[in-house]
């Protein structure tokens, strides 16, 4: 679930130039008056972090802060951080250097570190980065207003307490850089899986699921505001479980999907991320049953080799994963599957790497997020195994994986030529304001010439006539038959 671009992890948060986003900032600023303080927030890493920043924005707005897009006019600069790989942390440290300079020019400005790095480094952050005023972990955002008060009084504000209950269920996120069409909804927090390479269970704590009714209410509220797509977010959505205290009804992820799908047939439902061990037939049948639940599953394999998967503590092997993929295509024949892949995990041999390559072909991934292994302090792998694959080899294997995935993605897209897809229009294409961009159910970006009368948030049918490994191109047609 990390970004929309494999190389994006840790890269500066894109400032969305959508009109709706601009309008939001303008309205907030105009309503704010001269005296109110402004916060600037930058987010890195996974979609969950972007979603958390919207919760933070809501908490700050309630305590009188207004958002700004301009670093230089902020009274409070926040950076929502990612620890998943070393590189992500390096990027954050670089940004902190820049914030220091801004602070130098505007004394009194506070700088706060939020999210996974805050949690991982705790008070060490304050020792290492002297000019950071606030360190706030992912479960402590409600405490921000009081921590800001502490920092304003000249002390350091720190809260990295991890909770077993916090889901921010009652907080209505402030949609910061939204296109007004698609939004994220967090349905759970934390992770209990303990994949040996992963720092997330340490930075985000134990898994807990959010009240199902608050999720449905958030989806309904977004639909009323004109949104037409929601992505249900969690580190491991298929292990979502919530019990209604009133009647004891147990809501599984399949049931939750159905509840959200029923908000309106015009509201598309996506979700991320699925752990292969937890995705059930019931979920697959639910996806197949509802046209508005998208035919797309992000099903990270990590490695195609059973021995490596065991070392990774993924709790499935190669054959088991392959059967899951077969089952998905059987139940949802038009489903696109994507993956996360790590190359050069501890002790990985060339043959084992070949198994990952062959898995990409077997599973026919529409796309993958691909990384070389980066040892993270405190993880099971860091404690138990030697990080013994040389960097050069890790990177070469990564290049091989990327090359093959690009070919497989291209083949996947070529198969779409001649088909007509229902597309949800998201806005102007990046290259030309004469074209719209939108996505089909399989989560593929589709670019096509605008026609009169259609606008972002509308659905249309597009017949595909051209494909690259990343995008489909086509023209609007009357209906599914093209
Ligand atoms: N090194 C490289 N990639 C990692 N990921 C998680 N931890 C690491 C690590 N230590 C990748 C996994 C995961 C994705 C979110 O990031 O592929 O699914
Ligand atoms: Fe990390 Fe594994 Fe949990 Fe994903 S499922 S967050 S990779 S521990």
138 CA to middle of ligand 2, Å? 16
Q: pLDDT confidence of 481, banded at 50, 70, 90?
A: confident
Q: Are 160 and 140 within 8 A, CB to CB? A: yes
Query: Ligand 2 pocket: which residues have CB below 6 Å?
Result: 191, 193-195, 198, 200-201, 235-236, 275
pLDDT tens digits along 16-54: 333 344 445 545 545 544 568 999 999 999 999 999 999
Q: Report, as an integer, the average pLDDT of 261-275.
A: 98
**Same domain, yes or no: 306 and 443:** no
Q: 446 lies in which domain range?
A: 420-477
**Same domain, yes or no: 324 and 429:** no
440 CA to middle of ligand 1, Å? 27
Mutation choice for ligand 1 from 44, 47, 85, 369, CB with most ligand atoms inside 8 A: 85
**Residue where a domain terminates, one of 159, 185, 213:** 159
Half-sphere exposure (Cβ direction) of 420: Cα atoms closer than 13 Å? 13
**Same domain, yes or no: 378 and 409:** yes
In our burial notation (b when 16+ CB lie closer than 10 A, e otherwise), range 173-187 reads bbbbbbbbbbbbbbb
**Same domain, yes or no: 42 and 77:** yes
Please report the pLDDT score of residue 22 as a whole number: 46
**Same domain, yes or no: 19 and 154:** yes
Please report the pLDDT score of residue 16 as a whole number: 36
Distance CA 135, CA 152 (A): 14
pLDDT tens digits along 63-81: 999 999 999 999 999 999 9
DSSP secondary structure of 229-283: EEEEE-TTGGG-EEE-TTT-PEEEHHHHHHHHHTT-TTSEEEEE---TTT--HHH
**Same domain, yes or no: 444 and 324:** no
In our burial notation (b when 16+ CB lie closer than 10 A, e otherwise), range 235-262 reads bbbbbbbbeeeeeeeebbbbbbbbbbbe
Whether residue 206 is contained in a domain is answered as no
For the record, the structure tokens of 264 come out as 């309106």
**Same domain, yes or no: 55 and 92:** yes
Q: Report, as an integer, the average pLDDT of 309-313.
A: 98
**Same domain, yes or no: 395 and 440:** no
Q: Are 41 and 76 within 8 A, CB to CB? A: no
Whether residue 318 is contained in a domain is answered as yes
Three-state SS at 443: coil
Query: Ligand 1 pocket: which residues have CB below 6 Å?
Result: 2, 84-85, 197-198, 300, 302, 340, 342, 371, 373-374, 376
How many domains, in total, are found in the chain? 3
Q: What is the CATH number for 71?
A: 3.40.50.12160
pLDDT tens digits along 365-397: 999 999 999 999 999 999 999 999 999 999 999
Q: Are 6 and 369 within 8 A, CB to CB? A: yes
Whether residue 195 is contained in a domain is answered as no
pTM of the model: 0.92
Distance CA 21, CA 421 (A): 28
| Nearest ligand to residue 356 Cα | 1
**Residue where a domain terminates, one of 413, 434, 467:** 413
Nearest atom within ligand 2 for CA of residue 314: 2
Please report the pLDDT score of residue 18 as a whole number: 35
């Amino acid at each position: 679930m990390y970004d929309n671009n494999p190389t994006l992890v840790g890269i500066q948060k894109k400032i969305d130039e959508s009109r709706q986003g601009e309008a939001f900032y303008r309205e907030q600023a105009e309503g704010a008056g001269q005296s109110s303080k402004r916060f600037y927030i930058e987010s890195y890493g996974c979609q969950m972090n972007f979603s958390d920043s919207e919760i933070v924005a809501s908490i700050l707005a309630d305590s009188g802060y207004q958002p700004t897009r301009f670093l230089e006019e902020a009274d409070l600069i926040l950076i929502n951080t990612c620890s998943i790989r070393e590189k992500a942390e390096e990027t954050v440290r670089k940004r902190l250097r820049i914030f220091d300079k801004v602070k130098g020019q505007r004394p009194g400005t506070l700088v706060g570190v939020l999210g996974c790095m805050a949690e991982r480094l705790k008070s060490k952050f304050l020792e290492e980065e002297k000019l950071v005023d606030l360190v706030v972990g992912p479960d402590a955002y409600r405490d921000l207003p009081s921590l800001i008060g502490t920092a304003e009084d000249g002390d350091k504000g720190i809260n990295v307490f991890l909770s077993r209950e916090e889901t921010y269920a009652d907080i209505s996120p402030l949609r910061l850089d939204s296109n007004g069409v698609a939004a994220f909804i967090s349905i759970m927090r934390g992770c209990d899986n303990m994949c040996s390479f992963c720092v997330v269970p340490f930075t985000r704590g134990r898994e807990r699921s959010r009240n199902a009714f608050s999720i449905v209410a958030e989806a309904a509220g977004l639909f009323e505001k004109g949104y037409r797509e929601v992505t249900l977010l969690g580190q491991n959505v298929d292990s979502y479980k919530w019990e209604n205290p009133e009647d004891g009804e147990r809501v599984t992820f399949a049931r939750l999907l159905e509840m959200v799908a029923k908000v309106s047939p015009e509201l598309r439902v996506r979700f991320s991320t699925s752990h292969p061990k937890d995705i059930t037939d019931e979920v697959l049948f639910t996806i197949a049953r509802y046209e508005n639940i998208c035919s797309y599953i992000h099903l990270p394999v990590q490695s195609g080799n059973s021995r490596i998967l065991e070392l990774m503590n993924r709790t499935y092997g190669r054959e088991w994963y392959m059967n899951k993929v077969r089952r998905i295509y059987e139940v949802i024949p038009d489903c696109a599957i994507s993956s996360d892949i790590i190359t050069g995990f501890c002790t990985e041999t060339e043959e084992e790497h070949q198994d990952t390559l062959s898995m990409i072909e077997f599973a026919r991934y529409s796309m993958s997020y691909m990384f070389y292994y980066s040892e993270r302090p405190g993880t099971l792998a860091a404690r138990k195994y030697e990080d013994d694959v040389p960097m050069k080899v890790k990177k070469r294997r990564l290049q091989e994986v990327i090359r093959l995935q690009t070919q497989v993605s291209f083949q996947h897209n070529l198969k779409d030529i001649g088909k007509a897809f229902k597309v949800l229009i998201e806005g102007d294409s990046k290259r030309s304001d004469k074209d719209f961009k939108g996505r089909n159910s399989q989560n593929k970006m589709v670019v096509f010439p605008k026609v009169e009368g259609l606008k972002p948030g509308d659905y249309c049918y597009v017949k595909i006539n051209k494909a690259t490994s990343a995008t489909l191109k086509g023209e609007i047609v009357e209906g599914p038959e093209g």
